[in-house]
Amino acid sequence: MGNRVKVIIERGADGLFSAYCPDYRYLDKHSFGGFGDTAQQAQEDFLESVSEVKDICNEAGEDTSALDNLSFEWVMGASL
């Protein structure tokens, strides 16, 4: 079983949604985030950022097996 990462989804003052995980950085240098007009779009953009980090790490020859084992707990922030 992999790491479970809490992802917070919040609506900003501008009405747009963001998704971020404040307590997790991959290899202590990569963070993930997503944005969108809806919570669903922010979630999809967040998952795309995970994929992009995996690509960057693969190109650098870094092990990405931990990324394959991540699971996410989606939490709606207090601002919603």
Share of the chain above pLDDT 70, in %: 92
Share of the chain above pLDDT 90, in %: 56
Task: State the DSSP string of the chain.
Answer: ---EEEEEEEE-TTS-EEEE-TT--BTTTB--EEEESSHHHHHHHHHHHHHHHHHHHHHTT---HHHHT-EEEEEE-TT-
| CATH code (residue 19) | 3.30.160
Structural domain boundaries enclosing 61: 4-76
Q: Please report which confidence band the pLDDT of residue 25 belongs to, taking 50, 70 and 90 as the band edges.
A: confident
Residues 53, 65 contacting (CB under 8 angstroms) = no
What average pLDDT does range 6-29 have in this prediction? 89
Number of domains forming the structure of the chain: 1
Pick from 5-9, 38-42, 56-60, 63-67: least confident: 63-67
